[in-house]
Each structure stands twice: as structure tokens, then as C-alpha cells.
Amino acid sequence: MADLDRVEELPELADLVLAIVDQVPEGFVTTYGDVAAVAGTGPRQVGAVMSQYGSLAAWWRVLRADGRPPQGHEDEAVAFYREEDTPMRNGRVDLRRARHTLHSIEDVGPA
């Protein structure tokens, strides 16, 4: 994963994806597909961005459409879900209760 001290300029797609992920508040999640729809790209491209630059955002808040946490980071992600009181059910995030509605970056405005 990327180290903030070593990243000088993000590729445009990475910058966009991370800005979208930054919309997701504590205790909520989104899916790769949700982020992709707002970014105008595909879920695999979002996954690639998160794989390379996810450490610059709350990576655990982006998960698969079935509620499973990011592959290879399940234990760490579940610890974050518990810390943030993210609704879970049967070892997965309960998307019905925890899914955050994303907006285009233009709709969000400056932070």
C-alpha cells in the first residue's frame, strides 16, 4: 500500500476514488461497485486503486457487494467495523443497514 510521505501526486483516477471513499462516515460502508458508479469506472479499477493507494483513506469502508471485507485484510477490517459500530450480521457487514449513499464529488463541495 502507498505511504503518504512518498506519494507526491496521485493519478487522476486514484485521487477521484479516494475523494469518493472519504465521503463514507464512520460506521458506514460502500462497495467497489458503488464507488465505481460515481467515479465512472469499473469495480476492478476501484479495487486496483484501493490496493495501491487505499492506505490514504478508510480502506475498510470499501467492500464487496456481498458484505465481505477486503480480501487479505479481513481481520483488520473487522476490528475497524467493531470499533466504529458498523452493523454486521453473520460475519459480514449488513449492507442493508450500513451502506452509505455516495454522491458525485461535484455535489459534495470543498471539505
CB atoms within 10 A of CB 18: 20
Residue with cell 458498523: 86
Q: Decide if 110 is inside a domain.
A: no
Asked whether residue 102 carries a pLDDT value surpassing 80, the answer given is yes
Q: Decide if 21 is inside a domain.
A: yes
Q: Decide if 68 is inside a domain.
A: yes
* pTM (2 d.p.): 0.85
Q: What is the pLDDT of residues 3-45, one digit of tens each?
A: 444 445 779 999 999 999 999 999 999 999 999 999 999 999 9
- Residue 41: CATH number of its domain: 1.10.10.10
Say if CB 57 and CB 49 are below 8 A apart: no
Measured in Å, how far apart are the chain's first and last C-alpha atoms? Answer: 25
Identify the CA nearest to 61 among candidates 38, 80, 46, 87: 80
Q: Which domain holds residue 53?
A: 12-103
The count of domains in the chain is 1
Asked whether residue 1 carries a pLDDT value surpassing 80, the answer given is no
Measure the CA angle with vertex 33, ends 105 and 53; round to 5°.
65
Q: Decide if 7 is inside a domain.
A: no
